[in-house]
Structure 1
Amino acid sequence: MIMKKNVHVIQHTHWDFEWYFTSNESLVQLTYHMDEVFDALERGILDYYLLDGQLSIVEDYLEVVPEHRERFGALVKAGKLFIGPWYTQTDELIISGESIIRNLAIGIETADALGGVMRIGYLPDSFGQGKDMPKIYNGMDIQRTVFWRGVPNDKATQREFIWKSEDGSKVTALNIKNGYFVGGGLIYSDDATGLLETVEKDTTLPDIALPVGGDQRYVDYNLKERIDFYEKKLAGTGRTFVESHYPALFDEIEKSEVDLPVVEGEFISSSVSKIHRSIYSSRYDHKYMNDKIERRMIYQVEPLMTMADQLGISYKKALVDKVWKLLLRNHAHDSAGGCNSDKTNRIINNRFVEADQISYSIIDYLTRKISESREVVAPNDLLFFNTLPYKCKKQVQVQVSTKQKSFKLWLDGKEVLYQLNTQKAQYNGSIRRDESTYKKEDYYYISDLTVELTLPALDYLQLELEEIGATEASIIPVQKANKIENVYYELELKQGQCNLLNKKTDEALVNFLWVEDSGDEGDTYDYSPAHQDDHYQLDFSEAEVTVQKGPLKETMTLQGTWAIAKDLTARSQELRNQEIPYTLTITLAKNSKQVALHLLIDNQSDDHRMRLVVETGIAAQTSIADTPFGFAERPVVDPHLHEWEALGWREEPTAIFPMLHCVNLHQADKSVTLFSKGIKEYQIVGDDFSQIALTLFRSVGFLGRPDLIRRPGIASGNEFQYVPTPDSQLQQTLRFKVAIQLDSLFEPAQVMKDFQQYAISVPFYQIQELNRFTTTLKYFVSNPLRQAVTANELLDISDLNAVVFSSFNRSRNGEWLILRLYNPATNPVEAGVLNFPKEATVGFTNLEEHLLTTPSIQSAFALGTFKPGEIKTIAFRY
């Protein structure tokens, strides 16, 4: 019996936003390419065309050719040209969940303004699929997805399936296992039988996809002719070919009465495609910047702008979107991965710098404007802003400028303890070439201090700074010592090793912290050991050690150099002919469970990988790492590690994994979590898999290399030419921030709250005119608001212990305040009641901010049960 197959021929282009070329260079191609698209669709040469599902390239095109906006929109409205839903085709594994939501929100909004969005989660080339995507898609009213990479062939045995998240969200998934370019054979080859065998493999339904397109591919003007040729060639086989598009294909798939298999989890397997499981450490400098700006936008800029809006300073949606768009352009899969040419990476870095400057300046402006617009403003008022919707007790680093060396801090008439870490004199008169002419009275003092505060939710706290005559300041002395401690830990440096004692359990972790260096003969896609490697463990035996012991924290600073190989040639000869200067600062805050590390490394070597290794004392079989809205559990050894080549896999399934902010090992009575600000890659190592190795950075010199130990065969990227990337050797000073936390239990919600406590800084502002350069905008003059700022209690979720704060901002239509919470655990939790300070109109929305319930006026809003991994969004207004 002949099995009928309807082959949906889908003409498309995959328009990499940037790669070995820049977005500027591809824009020239796109500008002329769209002439072909218009011509083909308007003359009926093509019936349909898919413009790669991302709106950033459309935005760029219409900026250059604005006169074609109506022409473009007419084709979208006619159902001929398919666009969206993304602003850029995001990476799913190292980009925050809120960033992914913003990407879809801006993409959908932009596409709808041009005639309509294709509501399909279309990511044909992202390097793996994140486990939270079905619930993100459902929250954006997307029920279908198309992707290529990462599906393990022992987990999903057919190409059509239901992909499900742990909260029950699900999408109909179509996996294009042979790539978005597989249909090129329709144009170039007359082997109809061979092509059909390829695209039909593992399909079970009568309707299948044949995507005809490729990277920055031109329009195939002979598509109809080639379809006719294949129809005739395969006459009598039950195969019919139809020029189609993905919405039509899914309509047919969903009409089928076949029960599709259900698949859960993430897809990061190399069983059918390269997945580049060590790309998470390529171009660490970019990943550090991305992480910093994401955290600032989500946890500071949006909440602070919402707070300011309630105080009479209007919410600037366009300004927020400008930063997001800069950031989202760096989230395209190649851009986020770092597998680009140097010229492209420089443009990516420039976007980071621009986003960094604008986002920081928003905080600068708003904290000053609020501070200077209070009803009573006095010199030396010191204001701290909590941009999180819950009360927060934490140590804050602050710089103050004073005329006198000594001062006191007061809160409601009570003196506030602070720790003075450093102080320096600064001249504020007119600068002159001869500094000996400077007058003593024209100097003031900049003091770096630590203060411990309890901050109200989404509000500011005001301290008064009182200057005290000419008394000498009590600066915490720097001393030679080898031990620091707090109520939880004692940390000692002994014979070059860091030893940690857990005071609560009396457990000692000997040599619990070191740095590993090894050769890296990989490329910007993948780590691969050097063919002639020399691998070593770096300790702190030659370090100069100093400590500061104050009432709020104790700090140990290690300064030294490590000797490593200069390059692969030196490494093959077992030479260690390059010194790498480093500074490691370890901080134990008085009441903190976190051992905070700040490491600076001045990298001067090529082709190597450095990792921070932490001994946990927990022999592990699986690791836990955070994902956009939850956690993923992964084996410490891939079950196919020793048979992958025999199975025909595309790269070695080394247990190197992505993380967003933290990784954890735990057993029944012990848990160790590592938090990071920018590190995105880890591996569990050691004889008993008790050590967490965080990849600090990889230093490599080519976009793609062939015949890697971990990835044999052709080079990734461009297989025909070496593309040198000397900038990706990262010969620069690199900054790493990590915290280590020991607990008795692993509690997912508490871990994410601990991360926020660690990673989110507290903006502050001092009323003073001694120093006009505390921030960039301080130099500009500024009027206070016409109406003085008064206390305006906004929201406090301090009592919601079972769920995690995700975001707080204004809705995109400006009508609501939007609060998002989620349950990162694998079990359902009762969230409790959201108490408002006054009556509010409130209801639930989806992630797209469309109301799911009828809003009602309430002062206490029951949040109900959160299913495992569930996200809930609450819209309210006073």
Structure 2
Amino acid sequence: MQPEAFIVPHTHWDREWYRPFQAFRYRLVDLVEQVLRMIEGDPDFRGFLLDGQSVILEDVLTVRPDLEPRIRQAVEAGRLWIGPWYVLPDEFLVSGEALVRNLQVGIRIARRFGGEMPIGYTPDPFGHVGQLPQILKGFGIEAAVFQRGLDEQPTLLWWEAPDGTRIFTVYLRDGYGNAAWIPEDAEALAAYLKAQALSLMPHTPVPLLLLMNGTDHLFPHPQLTERLRAAQTHLPDLRLRLASLADYIAAVRTALGERLSDLPVVHGELRSSRRHPVLPGVLSTRIWIKQRNAAVQTVLERYAEPLMAFAHLLCGLDRRAFLFEAWRLLLQNHFHDSICGTGVDAVHEDMRPRFDHAEQIAGLVSRESLERLLRPEAAEAPPGWLASDPASMEQTLLVYCPIPGPVRGPVELTLPALPPGLTYCLLDPEGRELPLFQVERGTPDETRWTVSSTEWPGFLNRLLWAYVGPYAAKRVWVDLEGQRIWAEWADASADMDHGMITRVVRVARQLGERQPAITAPWTVSAAMGGASRWAFVLPEGRGVGLQAYRLQIRPGTPRLVTRRPRAEPEIANEFFRLTADPSDGTLQLEDLRTGRRWRGLNRFEDEGDAGDVYNHELPAEDRRVDRPAAPPRVEAWEEEPFGQCLEVDLPYEIPAGLRPDRRGRSAEMIPLSIAVRAWLRPGVPRVDMEVVVDNRAADHRLRVVFPTGIRSETWVTEGAFDLVVRPVGLRVRADDSWVEQPAPTAPQQGFAFVEDATGGLLVANQGLPEIEARTDAEGQVELVLTLLRCVGWLSRGDLRSRRGHAGPPLPTPAAQMIGRWAFRYSLIPYTDRWEAIREAQRFQAPPLARAGPGRLSERPFLEVEPAAFVLTAVKAPEEGEGLIVRGYNAAEEVVQVRLTFWQPVQAAWRADLMERLQEPLRPERSSLTFRARPKEIVTVRVVLAPLLRHSEG
């Protein structure tokens, strides 16, 4: 077979990187216009690969909608290859569900223009999660093409996910720009292309070579076909062919024939840095981005989507278009240079409003869904009362628990601030009062006065115009026997409507009829604006589902949260006892259930960082600081209902930055204050940590250490639909031939743990994706969690850890992370791994409470068994009716999964990740049972028995 070079014209388009988004889009429009001219004007130009991400189409058409017909024509003709991704994400810094939504959105957009490229093209992201083959296959994608993460493997191979799913893979061994440049001279071009082909020949089992004609932000050569024809005359032994990736994959599969199954297999996560850097420092660069992303993902995945799904089934609420928009905004921040924090400072300032807008939409959908789940009912004021809004005097408080299994502990909620003299009261379903505590009063504009008998007619007359005192009133409550009136004033931002005014006027008429005159002064209290925070202990809830309580407004004063100091700096609940070492502030934890003890927990260590936004690098002459400069201040107190708190204030001093030669840290020392609050909450088997760091230093990395007391060669981190087992310490020792030295740190999603035969210690986090497992002097494992990594350069060319630059050498002052930063993580000692994982999820997604008028007529819930089947999604289908439930079997053996719903199941199917129906399932009344292979991702589409909707909308 004559050797053949398949030349694929493409660009890799970093949406925002060393320039902000608008600057890159300015050039992108010109690039797309040039590509369209080449497609339309040159029949020999096979086509163009638009980097595998559909967002490019949105970015162009926002400013040039006139290009849409030409783009559509090129896609439909098979000459412009788009999708399947929406953006090319960093796979380790986003959730598994976010990867699924990324492909769903990308394919949905691509199909509007004629269809997606059915290839998992991910050229530049910094390594790949182990479950990507299974994710891609879930969308009907049969092949993957990428550059980073492998080392000396051949160019054609199989990649196997942890569940055994295999996908045909093309390894861009020499990079996605191995034929980027087109010399003007035909002989020079021929020599260049031959050299690139010969480089791949020893590593490709058939003489079909893939040459990628493009690289970062590169325009196609306008005379590409002419130049290739000229070069072909100088290459009698190498045929040049303009092609698509699909052309190449089809050709090599045909050429391999029966040998296809004999290709080598790589397994699971791909993070080798031998040939291409995977840039591990991005896990902790600009940590605020990772924290915001985790928070917004949680609001979407754990609250907005399931609540909207329940409300859609029960009352017809459909906000799928808003959820699509929220995901679209969030996914734009998942572009690898964006989420990694590896752009210039302006790039990451642009990310803030996207996070904010996605979170706002998700919050609005969650709130409306809870409100719509309540059936409206007639309400009357209690005897002896008048009220313009009697429903407000006895509302339903809904508590939504998003994680399967039982849950206890404090729940917080926000309620409108009441005028002085009124308070809220909480009752359980049996009418028993539950202690409800006011956490924060809010800051309403409020006042109290008396109305005399002579002032009474004038007061009534103004009330007939909906005025109480100087302002219009939204709501009015009247206690006739107590001779008291309360009002909530309208402010300029109030959602006033005619109904509110009418109801206030009605109360005025009733009051005038019942009390035309008075003989003793009446008390009037009024407030404008303000929101109050409240909390109570949830006796015991069960997720995934809703519980209903009654919330009343009564005369009285609220029960306040009060802090009671403890005599000794020690705290405890029914699970643990916690103390602090007075010399260094580290924590000592005793598990009262097992007697197991840990010492030296939560030790902070600070070291220099002479790297850039891509790579951490210890200075050659580093000084590590791992003790406070003076003894810490330790206090303990208890606050009902939040539990007991141990507060430790640590006065560290660290070098101000690097020396001018960058080989070591400066002699100048500056304060680094660290405030730790460790909480033991009633009914909660965790130690929840809140840490605030005031950072004034540059060029350093701050981490926190947890000695586990366990001897083990392996540890586990949560990944995308996976529990990734890792070796403790570095797996490989690199030599100078590696382009990047491997790092001991590893990516994680929500948690990491180490265990032995008797149990383990799990460290959960909220948006802190970098962690390391190392051994101490006694050979026991320490988990080391990164809090801050502070650097001032986009890329440096003087690193020992990486060969050459990873981007332009531009300053990034905001990446120094100067300022006050807050971090949240939790320690979970355990004997049952699966319950510990659920507890970690509860830490990340606690119960959500909201009050509203009406009654909960249906109580939607979903039970998931066993706990080894990790629930990741409950949502309405992208199209049509029903319910989508997704999770994965985290165990190493087959499990029998049982899903139980609140209504009988009418029909159910396994579905793929595009939610297309596959295998039918047989319901058993309100339950479904199915088998899940080890590490298998399972999507189920369910139609429940017809329900009587209480509201349409």
Same structural fold, with TM-score higher than 0.5 when normalized by the shorter chain:
yes
Supply the distance in 2 between the matched residues of 1:163 and 1:573 (Cα, whole angstroms). Answer: 44
Structure 1 contact 341–725 (Cα < 8 Å) conserved: yes
The SS at the match of 2:106 is helix
Q: Which of the residues 565, 586, 590 maps onto 2:655?
A: 565
2:165 matches 1:169: yes
Q: Which of the residues 903, 919, 926 maps onto 1:853?
A: 919
2:760 matches 1:760: no
Q: Which of the residues 360, 364, 371 maps onto 1:357?
A: 360
1:860 is displaced (CA, Å) by: 4.7
Supply the distance in 1 between the matched residues of 2:319 and 2:599 (Cα, whole angstroms). Answer: 52
The SS at the match of 1:112 is helix
2:26 matches 1:28: yes
1:567 is displaced (CA, Å) by: 1.5
Cα pair distance change 1:731/1:421, threshold 3 Å: farther
Structure 1 contact 46–221 (Cα < 8 Å) conserved: no
Structure 1 contact 310–792 (Cα < 8 Å) conserved: no
Residue matched to 1:208: 209
The SS at the match of 1:233 is coil
Supply the distance in 2 between the matched residues of 1:714 and 1:389 (Cα, whole angstroms). Answer: 46
2:682 matches 1:590: yes
Q: Which of the residues 623, 633, 643 maps onto 2:725?
A: 633
1:833 is displaced (CA, Å) by: 5.4
Structure 1 contact 661–678 (Cα < 8 Å) conserved: yes
Give the residue type in structure 2 aligned to 1:844: R
Supply the distance in 1 between the matched residues of 2:263 and 2:679 (Cα, whole angstroms). Answer: 53
The SS at the match of 2:872 is strand
Residue matched to 1:337: 340
Structure 1 contact 417–452 (Cα < 8 Å) conserved: no
Q: Superposed, which structure 2 residues align to 1:335-484 within 5 Å?
A: 335-370=338-373, 373=376, 377-379=391-393, 381=395, 383-386=397-400, 388=402, 390=404, 392-395=406-409, 396-400=411-415, 401=417, 403-404=420-421, 408-418=425-435, 420=437, 422-424=439-441, 426-429=443-446, 441-442=525-526, 446=532, 448-455=534-541, 457-465=544-552, 467=554, 469-470=556-557, 473=560, 475-479=562-566, 481-484=568-571
Residue matched to 1:199: 200
Structure 2 contact 604–627 (Cα < 8 Å) conserved: yes
Identity fraction in percent: 24
Cα pair distance change 1:469/1:329, threshold 3 Å: closer
1:656 is displaced (CA, Å) by: 0.9
Residue matched to 1:526: 615
Structure 1 contact 199–210 (Cα < 8 Å) conserved: no
Structure 1 contact 152–268 (Cα < 8 Å) conserved: no
Give the residue type in structure 2 aligned to 1:716: A
Q: How many residues align?
A: 837
Cα pair distance change 1:136/1:391, threshold 3 Å: same
Give the residue type in structure 2 aligned to 1:30: L
Structure 1 contact 529–709 (Cα < 8 Å) conserved: no
Structure 1 contact 311–790 (Cα < 8 Å) conserved: no
Supply the distance in 1 between the matched residues of 2:32 and 2:580 (Cα, whole angstroms). Answer: 64
Deviations 1:599-658 (A, max 9, x none): 1112221111111111111123222101110111112222432xx234x11111121110
2:878 matches 1:864: no
Supply the distance in 1 between the matched residues of 2:70 and 2:665 (Cα, whole angstroms). Answer: 64
Residue matched to 1:773: none
2:152 matches 1:60: no
Give the residue type in structure 1 aligned to 2:940: I
Cα pair distance change 1:486/1:576, threshold 3 Å: farther
Give the residue type in structure 1 aligned to 2:147: W
Residue matched to 2:94: 95
Q: Superposed, which structure 2 residues align to 1:632-671 within 5 Å?
A: 632-641=724-733, 644-646=734-736, 648-671=737-760
Q: Which of the residues 783, 793, 814 maps onto 1:692?
A: 783
Cα pair distance change 1:470/1:100, threshold 3 Å: closer
The SS at the match of 2:615 is coil
Supply the distance in 1 between the matched residues of 2:331 and 2:591 (Cα, whole angstroms). Answer: 42
The SS at the match of 1:843 is strand
Structure 2 contact 871–886 (Cα < 8 Å) conserved: yes
Residue matched to 1:111: 110
Question: Scaled by the length of structure 1, what TM-score is found?
Answer: 0.90
Residue matched to 1:279: 282
- Structure 2: gaps spanning 5 or more residues: 380-390, 449-488, 490-522, 945-953
Structure 1 contact 519–568 (Cα < 8 Å) conserved: yes
Q: Which of the residues 608, 618, 621 maps onto 2:700?
A: 608
Cα pair distance change 1:464/1:591, threshold 3 Å: same
The SS at the match of 2:918 is coil
Deviations 1:800-819 (A, max 9, x none): 43412110111111333111
Q: Superposed, which structure 2 residues align to 1:667-816 within 5 Å?
A: 667-685=756-774, 686-687=776-777, 688-711=779-802, 713-718=803-808, 722-747=809-834, 750-766=835-851, 790-816=856-882
1:387 is displaced (CA, Å) by: 5.3
Q: Which of the residues 307, 311, 315 maps onto 1:312?
A: 315
Deviations 1:182-223 (A, max 9, x none): 112554754344222223341112322111001111111232
1:78 is displaced (CA, Å) by: 0.8
2:489 matches 1:489: no
1:874 is displaced (CA, Å) by: 1.1
The SS at the match of 2:105 is helix
Supply the distance in 2 between the matched residues of 1:381 and 1:327 (Cα, whole angstroms). Answer: 34
2:605 matches 1:516: yes
Supply the distance in 1 between the matched residues of 2:361 and 2:297 (Cα, whole angstroms). Answer: 13
Structure 1 contact 405–473 (Cα < 8 Å) conserved: no
Q: Which of the residues 300, 306, 322 maps onto 2:303?
A: 300
Structure 2 contact 154–203 (Cα < 8 Å) conserved: yes
Deviations 1:426-456 (A, max 9, x none): 443389xxxxxx9994479945434124335
Supply the distance in 2 between the matched residues of 1:375 and 1:311 (Cα, whole angstroms). Answer: 20
Q: Which of the residues 9, 12, 21 maps onto 2:10?
A: 12
The SS at the match of 2:216 is coil
Structure 1 contact 418–452 (Cα < 8 Å) conserved: no
1:379 is displaced (CA, Å) by: 1.9
Deviations 1:746-772 (A, max 9, x none): 34xx443222222113222245xxxxx
The SS at the match of 1:702 is coil
Deviations 1:408-429 (A, max 9, x none): 5321235355474745474433
The SS at the match of 2:23 is helix
Residue matched to 2:460: none
Between 552-561 and 731-740, report the one with greater CA deviation. 552-561
The SS at the match of 1:859 is coil
Q: Which of the residues 799, 814, 820 maps onto 2:886?
A: 820
Structure 1 contact 166–826 (Cα < 8 Å) conserved: no
Supply the distance in 2 between the matched residues of 1:304 and 1:7 (Cα, whole angstroms). Answer: 53
1:789 is displaced (CA, Å) by: 6.2
Between 700-709 and 570-579, report the one with greater CA deviation. 570-579
Supply the distance in 2 between the matched residues of 1:651 and 1:714 (Cα, whole angstroms). Answer: 9
Structure 1 contact 384–764 (Cα < 8 Å) conserved: yes
Structure 1 contact 481–547 (Cα < 8 Å) conserved: no
Question: Scaled by the length of structure 2, what TM-score is found?
Answer: 0.83
Cα pair distance change 1:798/1:867, threshold 3 Å: closer
Structure 1 contact 405–445 (Cα < 8 Å) conserved: no
Structure 2 contact 754–762 (Cα < 8 Å) conserved: yes
1:338 is displaced (CA, Å) by: 0.7
Cα pair distance change 1:657/1:857, threshold 3 Å: closer
Cα pair distance change 1:704/1:660, threshold 3 Å: same
Deviations 1:496-523 (A, max 9, x none): 3321122233232221221111111111
Cα pair distance change 1:636/1:855, threshold 3 Å: closer
Give the residue type in structure 1 aligned to 2:169: A
Supply the distance in 1 between the matched residues of 2:759 and 2:405 (Cα, whole angstroms). Answer: 28
- Considering only aligned residues, what root-mean-square deviation do their CA atoms show, in Å? 2.7
Give the residue type in structure 1 aligned to 2:753: N
The SS at the match of 2:22 is helix
Give the residue type in structure 1 aligned to 2:272: S
Supply the distance in 1 between the matched residues of 2:620 and 2:744 (Cα, whole angstroms). Answer: 20
The SS at the match of 2:136 is helix
Cα pair distance change 1:87/1:474, threshold 3 Å: closer
The SS at the match of 1:666 is strand
